[in-house]
Copies of this chain bind each other. A is one copy, B any other.
Amino acid sequence: MNLLTPPIDSTPPASSDAGLPIAAVERETGLGKDTLRVWERRYGFPTPLRDSSGDRLYSAEQVQQLKLISRLLDFGLRPSKVVSLDNAALQALLTQHAPAPAAILSKTNIGNDATDPVIKELLHAIGTHDPRALQHGLSHAQLRMGLAPFVIDLAAPLTTAVGEAWAQGRFEIFEEHLYTEVLTGVLRHAIASLTSQLVPQGPRVLLTTVPQEQHSLGLLMVEALLTLDGCTCVSLGTQTPLTDIVQAALAHRADVVALSFSNMNKTAVVQTSLRELRARLPTATALWVGGTCTALYQWPLSEASAVQHLSGLQPLVAQWRHAH
């Protein structure tokens, strides 16, 4: 039962370096208690200290390494290959497995081999914990560039850059959270401004994500672009059960169901979901999918139209309009 209360006998106030019990590590790392124990048994890591009653006490270092391991597993690596590595090796793998850092960025700019200075400035605002500068910088860029270029050429690559920086350990989770929060505010503000002065037309689009998919930024970017293009968007936010997606599509008489997938999804889950959705949705209802999920583009999808890049959204709308 010794949960998070570090040893009472030793030093009550400043004993946080004694180690974290297994339940705390589960919450910090997202790795289940059973998994932690079985890793210790199989791979010899982590081997935590024990308190007076034999319970595990993980050091802060071990927890840090576990976080790195957890990130590597998200990249598709197997536990047997990474769990027993030391800190340096983990770091090396992380920098190696992070996709080309400025690959996406360079494509968005006109042959600019260096990173966009605006993006660098915004990244700096995140790293220095300056939400006002971040908010101001984003709003300003949105007004200057216009909504569509802002989303496609700035927000999307910046989000990728932040995600990569986090994966490489250059950003903490809370810094990514703050970025998400501020950008969400800017995007929602833009969408709200649009909807108030727009004639409802175009396809009626239902926007959401499947369960387990928590990323909401992609959804918001799509909503912004579609709304800008004159579509009538209804967003359900993230994590809607498949049954409810179908129900909602019927209830709102949606012409299109648009789903966003991040790379955290298992390919099997993605394909199964799409197949089931396609089977249960009316034939007349189109299914559009997009996002950073690699599983969407590796195999040709018969069930849905896959949009790998946000710039592919507008042609899809034009195509739909032409067909109706």
Contacts and interface: CB of A to CB of B under 8 A. Distances in A.
Interface centre among A27, A173, A185, A241, by most chain B C-beta atoms within 10 angstroms, is A241
Contacts of A13: 279
Nearest to A242: B10
A324 B222 CA distance: 45
Interface of A is mostly: helix
A5 interface: yes
A236 B174 contact: yes
Nearest to A280: B16
A236 B74 contact: no
> How many subunits of this chain does the assembly comprise?
2
A30 B242 CA distance: 12
A28 B245 CA distance: 11
A247 B172 contact: yes
Interface in A210-251: 210-212, 234-237, 239-245, 247-248, 251
Contact of A2 (B16, B35, B239): B35
Contact of A8 (B9, B211, B251): B211
B30 A2 contact: yes
Interface of A: 1-5, 8-10, 13, 16, 23-24, 26-28, 30-32, 35, 70, 73-74, 129, 131, 135, 172-174, 177-178, 180-181, 184-185, 188-189, 191-192, 195, 208, 210-212, 234-237, 239-245, 247-248, 251-252, 264, 268-269, 272-273, 275-276, 279-280
